[in-house]
Structure 1
Amino acid sequence: MMDLDIGICSDIEKKQKKKLMLDYLWENLRYHNWWAYKYYLCEVLALVNVIGQMFLMNRFFDGAFLTFGFEVISFLDSDQEDRLDPMIQIFPRMTKCTFYKYGVSGEVERHDAICILPLNVVNEKIYVFLWFWFIILGILTLFTVIYRIMIIFSPRMRVYLLRMRFRLIRQDAIDLIVRRSKMGDWFLFYMLGENVDSIIFRDVMQELANKLNKHNFHHVGGFKGDIQEA
């Protein structure tokens, strides 16, 4: 981030880089929605991917995967005399095998036997882990998508998040910037604040607020003083 994440550089270099950042933000204000929406779309696709993976697994296991973890938990909590291991139902550890070999008369003889499947002991543990991993990942991703939706439709929440995360910036500056910008700009500000030195970011944001306050920003049509929607 132009070495502005460490804040250790000469004053002249720091001023030049802050000016470059400020000029970019000023010239491109309200033009970052498409970039932000593409980012959010990737998070939605991540949720779709997790859900799709679970349904593909469920189809592969003939409808037994979606409830697999719940059945394992129920199995562990039930009485030892009554419980039936769901892992053995999906991954049997023993099965009937049929062998064909030549007998003493030279003819092929058929032999039935019981075969041990030790690899299924490992497989069942892997898929139990995968079930819990998909559930945790799906819940966290769902919360992330809900959080993004709240950000998109609630400008006041965007103000609150900036205030809570970047306390060095004056509240009136944050209010003005969010009011004069769009959701994509807010997302860019937030990401910049995460990756730029806090003092430098404070200076850039306050200079941007001063610039917005002095100029009638030509991209803001119909601005009435209320916080603008995305």
Structure 2
Amino acid sequence: MFDVFGSVKGLLKLDAVCIDNNVFRLHYKATVIILIAFSLLVTSRQYIGDPIDCIVDEIPLHVMDTYCWIYSTFTIPKRTGIVGKDVVHPGVASPQNDQDEEIKYHKYYQWVCFTLFFQAILFYVPRYLWKTWEGGRIKMLVLDLNCPVVSEDCKVERRKLLVDYFATNLHTQNFYAFRFFLCEVLNFINVVGQIYFVDFFLDGEFTTYGSDVLKFTELEPENRIDPMARVFPKVTKCTFHKYGASGTVQKFDGLCVLPLNIVNEKIYVFLWFWFIFLAVLSGLSLAYRAAVVAGPKLRLVLLRARSRLSPQEQITTIAEKCQIGDWFILYQLGKNIDPLIYKQLVSDLATKLQGKEGLQDV
């Protein structure tokens, strides 16, 4: 099993410098890892075996397997009942010409691995955009001050560089911050869009899939119709046509077992709950971000929480002088710089913004 998931272990590596936040990382780290791992799992015959096995007389089995895999299989959703008495398997029956019965064709299964990988790419796009736009600015500004083992002279020199940078670029960094906020919006749009994309991929079954599974577990056993078996049937039918010896068209009905759907149904139950959780969390994150952009007092509170070792009057001075871009970079630096060094930086910056010369040695 480690061989299957070993290729995604590199995504687990934590960045030395944090340029985003925890909700953002759920999109480009946790979700990407989950989707790539699922994509690898559904292609691993070592653990699942053949994705399809069909039974039919007079047709070579490997030919039937290949044909049904390529051209899809079908079920009749209304054909339900007690297995072994009313039906051989739920949805498995021959369509009757005199009945208006819906035939559901299952074409998705050969595309699951590609779809999951494509979704992983989409979840990484906002991260890629932000890394490109960010350009390593936070890493450059940290100046190794995230390491507590730094000489005092080096600390003073690097703090002076940071203070001079802030004073020189004051009120010019709003565009930097708003590009990050745009990537947060893209994360929310992406996860909501992916819910509807998977719903389209599964013929309109995904939006209610998880809730249907929950309802299924609460029903009495005799009244249960498994929604997972409806969306991901384990046994289906496939019709093969060929010419007979006299040149007439012969029809062969086969039963096909889809072992892969045992995995697919669990994957999409998990993804339903994960996408809903991620969409709600991203929506709350956007509401928080809107409050931060619109509320200077909230920015002051957050900066106080980030620089809790610093005197309150110094933080108030900085908050009054800074616009949203200046605040955002200072807040991001607080995530990466050693707390004691950050306290000294806040003190030096407050002194600089008050128009005083020199640095305060601590």
- Who is 1:40 aligned against? 181
Q: Does 2:230 match 1:54?
A: no
From 44, 63, 72, the counterpart of 2:204: 63
Q: Which one is further off, 92-101 or 204-213?
A: 92-101
Matches within 5 A, 1:89-100: 89-99=230-240
Letter in 1 for 2:199: N
Alpha-carbon distance in structure 1 between the residues aligned to 2:194 and 2:150: 48
**Aligned partner (choices 146, 167, 183) of residue 5 of structure 1:** 146
* Aligned residue pair count: 215
1:148 is displaced (CA, Å) by 0.8
Residue 97 of structure 1: SS of its match in structure 2? Answer: strand
Say if 2:309 is the partner of 1:168.
yes
Aligned twin of 1:142:
283
| 2:323 maps to which of 171, 182, 196 | 182
Give the CA deviation at 1:152: 0.5
Tell me the residue number matched to 1:157. 298
SS of 2:256's equivalent in the other structure is: strand
Structure 2 portions without partners, runs of 5+: 1-141, 357-362
- The one-letter code sitting in structure 2 at the alignment partner of 1:21 is L
Distance 2:158 2:279 in 1: 40
Deviation of 1:69 (Å): 0.7
**Are residue 124 (structure 1) and residue 265 (structure 2) matched?**
yes
Deviations 1:141-179 (A, max 9, x none): 111111111110111111111212221111111111111
Deviations 1:39-76 (A, max 9, x none): 01001001101111111111222222111111111111
Note the C-alpha offset of 1:214: 3.1
Q: Which has the higher contact order (CA 8 A, sep 6+)?
A: 1
Q: Secondary structure at the match of 1:214?
A: coil
Written as runs of structure 1 = structure 2, the 5 A alignment for 1:98-113 is 98-99=239-240, 109-113=250-254
Residue deviations 1:11-50, cap 9 Å, x none? 2222111110110011111111110000010010011011
Q: Distance in 2 between matches of 1:213 and 1:47?
A: 40
SS at match of 2:195: helix
The letter for the 2-side match of 1:6 is: C
Q: Is the 8 A contact 2:163 2:352 kept in 1?
A: no
> CA shift at 1:104, angstroms?
9.2
TM-score (norm 1): 0.86
For the residue of structure 1 that corresponds to 2:354, the secondary structure is helix
Q: Percent identity?
A: 45
Gaps of at least 5 residues in structure 1 are: 216-230
When normalised by structure 2's length, the TM-score is 0.56
C-alpha distance in 2 between matches for 1:93 and 1:159: 57
Hey, what's the Cα distance between the residues in 1 that align with 2:146 and 2:320? Answer: 27
Cα displacement (A) at 1:105: 8.8
Q: Structure 2: how far apart are the matches of 1:167 and 1:155?
A: 18
Q: Where has structure 1 moved over 4 Å in runs of 4 or more?
A: 99-109
- CA distance, structure 2, for counterparts of residue 101 and residue 62 of structure 1: 30
Query: Is the 8 Å Cα contact of residues 242 and 250 (structure 2) preserved in structure 1?
Result: yes
